[in-house]
Amino acid sequence: RHATGTAVQGALFPMDLYETLTAQGDTVRSLKAQKSPKAEVDVAVQLLLQMKLDYKRLTGQDYKDGCPPADGEMVVDTGAALEEGDDQVDPWNVSSSSAKGVDYDKLIVRFGSSKIDQELVDRIARVTGKTPHRFLRRGIFFSHRDMHQILDTYKKQKSFYLYTGRGPSSEAMHVGHLIPFIFTKWLQDVFDVPLVIQMTDDEKYLWKDLSLDECHRYTVENARDIIACGFDMFFSVRASPSFYRNVVKVQKHVTFNQVKGIFGFTDSDCIGKVSFPAIQAAPSFSSSFPQIFGERTDVQCLIPCAIDQDPYFRMTRDVAPRIGYLKPALLHSTFFPALQGAQTKMSASDANSSIFLTDSAKQIKNKVNKHAFSGGKDTVEEHRKCGGNPDVDVSFMYLSFFLEDDDQLEKIRQEYSSGALLTGELKKSLIETLQPMIAAHQERRKLVTDEIVQQFMSPRKLHFNC
């Protein structure tokens, strides 16, 4: 699917490529000036050289510092630089050959995003006065675009808003699906900003062998779970003139060549798939929602999502300035591993591949005990002697998502690594963490009546003033 590679992902225009390249040149110079370790300088230089090759290939001209390319020439994003051994990460496929899962540092370089480093986490803590969420403390949200800009906005007492989504491909959601919502809930609580959630039943209809009615039924069921997270939010609806205006604006500014490059579409794909990225993009612009933002087109958007959704928003960020809108900022999460291991994303159609939000306490216990891939040794004796490997142990990974107490998590890690803690004991910790969490969710979900769903699915006013 990805025939040629580009070091700079998502660069649709020579000017973007030029600017990224210039920035990389600055990075190299500053690393050398600071006498940084040779290995670090080498990596940066290598990336710079690759970028220059790409620049030549895509623009037909040599890169020259201080000489920006002629305006308006179009360049095709050739998709993820998928080389032998690289992980595949796009909205429809995520796969890795390593038991530890996807190499996220490599992904940041390939996608051209920025790492959420300790400095950013500390700044979030300073600006909000709140302890950063465990997903930030533990690198589960690990990559971003323009988060510093969002914090600047917030510091100036100006508002922004959150946008995330869900493609409802089945009735039941699993705990992995909750990750963006748990984090979004924290963001809304901490920053006190509006939230839009887009349910892409159209996407599922276009990509899967499902009828529109099935997709709609899944949407309503999934909406119930999302509402149960306790948001003050607004479901994005297609049937709005303002939303459609922005869809058409995006559609006018993206060519088939571009979506072919970004998403790997082919001539045999249906025109629904080809134009769907515009539907995914539209909620990134505040003018899509006059019900929330009135006439304001300048409220910036922050999108928390798994990194596989980034191609949509690379495209959105490229289009935004050309239609007079702000680029959305992003916070990217890692993938939630399947019970069987971190090589693949979970499948909602395999009940044993994860813990579902509908699972009973007993089901949770059985699934974890029976299916969670263990990093422990074959025998108790060997385990006591050599210790387990938490880096590939799925129960430990799940705990790092859901156990709030950092000290306790670190203690488990150390004791499991040393062999003091056995696999069964580790699994017990996970079971005891998941059971009350899922039960509480189920209690909240029970309170979400059909009327409440109906109310949330209709355009509604939020309590926010923008």
Which residue number, 146 or 202, has a Cβ lying nearer to a copy of itself? 202
Asked if 455 interacts with a copy of itself (CB under 8 A), we say: no
Site string for a copy of itself, 51-80 (x = CB under 8 A): -----------------------x------
How buried is residue 279: exposed, middle or buried, by Cβ count under 10 Å (0-12/13-18/19+)? buried
Asked if 268 interacts with a copy of itself (CB under 8 A), we say: yes
Q: What is the CB neighbour count within 10 angstroms for residue 53?
A: 13
The CB-of-205 to a copy of itself minimum distance in angstroms stands at: 6
Q: Which stretch binds a copy of itself (CB under 8 A): 64-72, 163-171, 221-229, 264-272?
A: 264-272
Q: What is the DSSP string of 100-163?
A: T---HHHHHHHHT-EE--HHHHHHHHHHH-SPPPHHHHTTSEEEEESHHHHHHHHHTT--EEEE
Asked if 3 interacts with a copy of itself (CB under 8 A), we say: no
Instruction: Give the tokens for residue 20.
Output: 């990224």
How buried is residue 25: exposed, middle or buried, by Cβ count under 10 Å (0-12/13-18/19+)? middle
- Looking only at the bridges linking them, the beta strands covering 141-145 and 329-333 are antiparallel
Q: Of the candidates 38, 67, 271, 463, which one interacts with a copy of itself according to CB under 8 A?
A: 271
What is the three-class DSSP state of 235? strand
Please, are residues 113 and 331 in contact by the beta-carbon 8 Å criterion?
no
Asked if 186 interacts with a copy of itself (CB under 8 A), we say: no
Asked if 277 interacts with a copy of itself (CB under 8 A), we say: yes
Q: Of the candidates 3, 33, 67, 239, which one interacts with a copy of itself according to CB under 8 A?
A: 239
Please, are residues 174 and 355 in contact by the beta-carbon 8 Å criterion?
yes
Count of residues near a copy of itself by CB under 8 A: 36
Q: Of the candidates 81, 107, 259, 331, which one interacts with a copy of itself according to CB under 8 A?
A: 259
The CB-of-212 to a copy of itself minimum distance in angstroms stands at: 6
Provide the β-strand partners of residue 196.
163, 234
Please, are residues 116 and 132 in contact by the beta-carbon 8 Å criterion?
no
Asked if 251 interacts with a copy of itself (CB under 8 A), we say: yes
How far is the C-alpha of 262 from the C-alpha of 12, rounded, in Å?
A: 9
Which residue number, 185 or 249, has a Cβ lying nearer to a copy of itself? 249
Which residue number, 275 or 369, has a Cβ lying nearer to a copy of itself? 275
Q: Which stretch binds a copy of itself (CB under 8 A): 111-119, 154-162, 263-271, 368-376?
A: 263-271
Asked if 4 interacts with a copy of itself (CB under 8 A), we say: no
Instruction: Give the tokens for residue 144.
Output: 């971003």
Site string for a copy of itself, 208-237 (x = CB under 8 A): ----x------------------------x
Q: What is the CB neighbour count within 10 angstroms for residue 407?
A: 7
The CB-of-350 to a copy of itself minimum distance in angstroms stands at: 26
Residues in contact with a copy of itself by the rule CB under 8 A: 74, 202, 205-206, 212, 237-241, 243-245, 248-249, 251-257, 259-260, 265-272, 274-275, 277-278
